[in-house]
Structure 1
Amino acid sequence: MRGLRLNELKIGDKDFFQKTISESDVYLYAGITGDLNSAHINEVEAEKSMFKGRIVHGMLTAGLISTALGMKLPGPGTIYLGQELKFTAPVRFGDTIKAEIEVIEKNEEKNIIKLKTTCTNQDNKIVLTGIATAMPPK
């Protein structure tokens, strides 16, 4: 299975990946990365923070963009080259996050695309915005 090639992509093409983030997801991510920040894993300490409770790792949320790129648009064979990110709101355990991507630029010479990236929660609140750079399969 291969994703879409550059000539098969159009400016404005969109897709998304959606997932409900569980407590297990957060603990698995913390274990894999070693990011054991109390904001993510210690409810007592997290309640004292500005967020008043545990939040999901920002990069776990951003990882959903990688899934959208690698599995949806352009899809399998895509190389994720870079990402500019801005975290705009916390993601909580149990939130359903929709990672949306939209092709905004194509560079035929270099076989590179840029995509607008937006993650929203179940209340349609934007929690992450950015621009991804990727190389579709040849």
Structure 2
Amino acid sequence: MDDGTHHRPFGSVLNDAIGQLASLMRLDLRLLKAEMRAKTTTIVSSVACGTAAALFFVLAAFALIQFLILAMIHFGVDGMFACLIVGAVLIGAGMLSLYLAKRALIGWTITPIETVNQVRTDLVALKQGIRYGSTQQ
């Protein structure tokens, strides 16, 4: 009695499933490498630009701090009090900068999201293929 379905030996189905799984894993690894390469390039360029900016800001800050302290002394503020005021303002600016840096990274992840989703999709398709015996040839 033939019910219209094509029956294959389990070994053949398993062999095809393993071959397809290996092929999917190779494709997923290529996707992972490409996605991580893109993320790494962004991180490296961001770090390089951030480092250069920080260096210039430090040099400019020294000059401006000296200017502010000397200007305050010139207008009659005691030297120690002028240094205290400028230091307190700089600490406030630093805290604000840290807050903004932390806020900019909210929701950002280094996890290769596209690759993880693709692997999940591949595993679901593989399970359905093994369960129903329908593998591509």
Give 1 or 2 for the bigger CA radius of gyration: 2
Establish whether TM, by shorter chain, passes 0.5. no
Q: Which has the higher contact order (CA 8 A, sep 6+)?
A: 2
Sort the TM-score into its range (normalised by shorter chain). Answer: under 0.3
More strand by share: 1
**TM-score with structure 1 length normalisation?**
0.24
More helix by share: 2
**TM-score with structure 2 length normalisation?**
0.24
